[in-house]
């Protein structure tokens, strides 16, 4: 009973109208990336995902992955779908042309990731991890390693996985125990065990390239002694041909609450040959390239889940007949009115819509800045764009995955009892969405990253790339009578964010626990203001385009913006009050009373 159609019009609205496509087209190498080309790519991507991936979503959840004698088998249909996915070239979109990629903007691949996440969350994890691994290899591997590994990975013939977590260390990677012994030929032999490794073992590709954090003999303690290694499941000769198995094995797969079609593995390394990426003892720097890539990707997973939950809930609300409208019968020819007429159902659907479309705009903004950070010819512009991406990454990861879970829950609530029944498909989205709030750094960790690292760095330089454009746009529109209903509440919310930021900066120097106690609420306050800024811009576009052929589309933008400003943005007042109350209610509570 779930349904999904690629939101092509809205993806293009953000790319081509809210965000100026000329900004990306002006970047070196992207001159031919016209809006028309982007539209054709997304249309084909949507068709593929709707026809080949979406039908496998529920069956993949029901069957799950199988672990037999050290091997992992994905659900029926996944291997064929992956072969079709690679044959169509979807793994090559953002790959470097030198290694067989199309060299297209990251933003296009990010839109593809949203579509895949809506159609089949679990499937998307396999190519998604590979793309992140390629980014780290491209940034830190030697030219010889790039030539040996990247062509097959870009083509999707080989996949990638990220091996960080061990039983005794998750967030605190300084506690890891995996060892890397240097060899005469410059390689290393790795021994140890990693857990919670997404796509660590499967049957979709002939080889899996693991990026592994490990410690060499005599390395400094903590994270300063961690190095990053490329470790193939099957050894690869200098000519790129496969050789013998490489001492990498899967010990088990986890039995999870959701994403059953994604293999989550215990991976053991037994004197497995690996190759150093980047500098010795500088592994976290290299791994953060992949981690930050994956944190953005996880936020997009939340966006994708929210979209398919919304579409499914709307379809159900149009068809489900229950009761009569409070203001009088709307469909006298039917035994009851569709539940779409009821205020509370409309509240849930509009909440889903307002968050979903706002989050898509936020992702688009960050994606554009990501491309600018990598391609802009001016070093200062690259730095400014990178600052923006760094600031917004924890917000995208945490807030949008929180929304993904919230929207999936709301969608299930719209379905009522039928949403709780497995065969109708909605409860799967709730289970699948929940992991996104946990992996790649829990959302609490993202909040600490925002408030403890991103805010104070370079005396608040990162903040300027959000505060300045918001302030400038509010000043530009403060005398626009048609927008005052949006400008005034956003100005108040923005003022709360500025005041909370200044207060926390002062209190944090006196007592770091003040920042820790406020972190989660501060991140949400920041995100709600960010969405308010983007909804103001979307409302402005909607008002200016209400008389054309797409009047219904643009009027819906204005009406959804009004709902956001009247029903969601007021949360900032409560969040501000909670932040300003301080840490004492938490930290002075008696430990023995817990």
**Residue numbers annotated as active site:** 440
Give the closest residue to 393 by CA, choosing from 296, 460, 520. Answer: 296
- Eight-class DSSP state of 169: B
Rounded to whole angstroms, how far apart are CA atoms 73 and 263? 9
Pairing of strands 158-163, 207-215: parallel
Rounded to whole angstroms, how far apart are CA atoms 304 and 459? 35
Q: Are 240 and 152 in contact (CB under 8 A)?
A: yes
Report the number of secondary-structure helices (H) and strands (E) in the chain.
19, 11
Count CB atoms within 10 A of the CB of residue 32. Answer: 8
Q: CA dist 172 to 39, 222, 519, 542, 571, Å?
A: 43, 9, 19, 47, 33
Which phi and psi (to 5°) does residue 253 adopt? -120, 150
Count CB atoms within 10 A of the CB of residue 414. Answer: 26
b/e burial code for range 279-288 (CB count within 10 A of at least 16 → b): eebbbbebbe
- Where does residue 29 rank: exposed (0-12), middle (13-18), buried (19+ CB within 10 A)? exposed
Rounded to whole angstroms, how far apart are CA atoms 366 and 362? 6
Q: Are 80 and 87 in contact (CB under 8 A)?
A: no
């Amino acid at each position: 009973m779930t349904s999904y159609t690629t939101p092509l019009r809205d993806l293009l609205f953000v790319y081509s109208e809210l965000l100026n496509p000329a900004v990306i087209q002006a970047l070196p190498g992207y001159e031919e990336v016209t809006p028309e080309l982007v539209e054709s790519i997304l249309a084909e991507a949507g068709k593929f995902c709707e026809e080949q991936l979406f039908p496998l979503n529920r069956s993949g959840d029901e069957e799950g992955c199988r672990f037999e004698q050290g091997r992992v088998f994905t659900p029926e249909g996944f291997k064929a779908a992956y072969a079709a996915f690679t044959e169509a070239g979807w793994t090559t979109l953002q790959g470097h042309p030198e290694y067989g990629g199309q060299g297209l903007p990251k933003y296009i691949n990010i839109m593809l990731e949203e579509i895949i996440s809506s159609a089949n969350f679990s499937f998307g994890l396999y190519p998604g991890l590979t793309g992140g691994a390629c980014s780290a290899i491209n940034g830190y591997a030697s030219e010889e390693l790039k030539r040996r590994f990247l062509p097959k990975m870009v083509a999707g013939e080989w996949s990638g996985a990220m091996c960080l977590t061990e039983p005794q260390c998750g967030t605190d990677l300084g506690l890891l125990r995996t060892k890397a012994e240097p060899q005469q030929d410059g390689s290393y032999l790795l021994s140890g065990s990693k857990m919670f490794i997404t796509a660590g073992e499967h049957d979709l590709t002939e080889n899996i390239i693991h990026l592994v954090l490990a410690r060499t003999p005599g390395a400094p303690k903590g994270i300063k002694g961690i190095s990053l290694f490329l470790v193939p499941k099957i050894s690869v000769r200098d000519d790129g041909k496969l050789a013998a198995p490489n001492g990498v094995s899967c010990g088990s797969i986890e039995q999870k609450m959701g994403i059953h079609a994604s293999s989550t593995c215990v991976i053991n390394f037994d004197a497995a040959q690996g190759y150093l990426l980047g500098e010795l003892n500088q592994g976290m720097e290299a791994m953060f390239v992949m981690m930050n890539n994956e944190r953005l990707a996880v936020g997009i997973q939340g966006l994708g889940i929210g979209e398919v939950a919304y579409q499914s809930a709307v379809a159900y609300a149009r068809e489900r007949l229950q009761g009569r409208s409070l203001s009088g019968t709307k469909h006298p020819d039917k035994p009851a009115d569709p539940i779409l007429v009821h205020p509370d159902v409309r509240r849930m659907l509009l909440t889903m819509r307002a968050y979903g479309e706002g989050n898509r705009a936020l992702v688009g903004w960050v994606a554009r800045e990501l491309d600018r950070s990598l391609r802009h010819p001016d070093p200062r512009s690259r730095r400014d764009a990178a600052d923006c991406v760094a600031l917004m990454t924890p917000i995208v990861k945490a807030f949008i995955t929180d929304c993904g879970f919230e929207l999936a829950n709301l969608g299930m609530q719209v379905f009522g009892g039928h949403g709780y029944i497995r065969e109708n498909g909605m409860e799967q989205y709730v289970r699948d969405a929940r992991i996104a709030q946990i992996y790649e750094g829990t959302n609490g960790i993202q909040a600490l990253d925002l408030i403890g690292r991103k805010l104070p760095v370079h005396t608040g330089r990162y903040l300027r790339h959000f505060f300045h454009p918001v302030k400038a746009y509010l000043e530009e529109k403060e005398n626009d009578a048609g927008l005052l209903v949006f400008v005034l509440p956003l100005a108040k919310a923005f003022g709360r964010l500025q005041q909370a930021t200044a207060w926390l900066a002062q209190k944090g120097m006196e007592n770091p626990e003040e920042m820790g106690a406020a972190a989660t609420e501060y991140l949400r306050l920041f995100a709600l203001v960010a969405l308010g800024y983007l909804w103001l811009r979307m409302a402005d576009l909607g008002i200016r385009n209400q008389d054309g052929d797409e009047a219904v589309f643009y009027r819906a933008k204005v009406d959804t913006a009004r709902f956001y400003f009247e029903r969601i943005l007021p949360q900032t007042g409560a969040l501000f009050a909670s932040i300003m109350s301080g840490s004492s209610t938490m930290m002075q509570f008696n430990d023995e009373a817990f």
